[in-house]
Amino acid sequence: MSTKTKNGKRVFLQNEDCPIRNVVSQVGDKWSMLILFSLVEGPDRFNSLKTRIEGISQRMLTQTLRDLERDGYVNRTVYPEVPVKVEYELTPLGEGLAKSLWKLVSWANTHHDEIRSARREYDRDNG
């Protein structure tokens, strides 16, 4: 993420080779983390995820699942039953990601009120 130094301070990069940008730009969208944490509890099917994740549309669920699959976080398995059953599950990589996100989640839970009140104060004092 950071590379050279320049008068004592690090210089930060933002290109496609930056690991943290590659991870955060995937996981930082509207739905990825919700899907990830749903799947932490075990493999699940398309329609079940759609029900569990409130407000997600069919289109965004498909699309986000494809993106997670692409990065190797999620496996997609088709069972040729009838009607067809498609199951999604975390890969070891996806489980590792979820674990390393957990600290952030618990921090967010703990400090949520602080953030919200900072936001209110800022909005009161400014625009």
Nearer to DNA, 72 or 99 (CB): 72
| Site map 75..94 versus its own copies, x via CB under 8 A | ------------------x-
CB 86 within 8 A of CB 79: yes
* 124-127 LR contacts (CB < 8 Å, sep 24+): none
| Residue 88 burial (CB count, 10 A) | 22
Minimum Å distance from CB 52 to DNA? 12
The per-residue DSSP string of 25-38 comes to: HHHTSSSHHHHHHH
- Closest separation between CB of residue 32 and DNA, Å? 8
Which of its own copies, DNA, none does residue 82 bind (CB under 5 to 8 Å by kind)? DNA
User: Are 50 and 61 spatial neighbours (Cβ–Cβ below 8 Å)?
Assistant: yes
Residue in this structure with the two tokens 């009838």, named with its chain if needed: 82
Binding-site size, its own copies (CB under 8 A): 62
Per the CB < 8 A criterion, the answer to whether 38 and 88 are in contact is no
- Assign 90 to helix, strand or coil: strand
* Interface map 25-44 toward its own copies (x if CB under 8 A): x-xxxxx-xx--xx--xx-x
For residue 61, state whether it binds its own copies (rule: CB under 8 A): no
Binding site for its own copies (CB under 8 A): 1-2, 6, 9-15, 19-25, 27-31, 33-34, 37-38, 41-42, 44, 48, 51-56, 69-72, 93, 96-97, 100-101, 103-109, 111-112, 114-119, 122-123
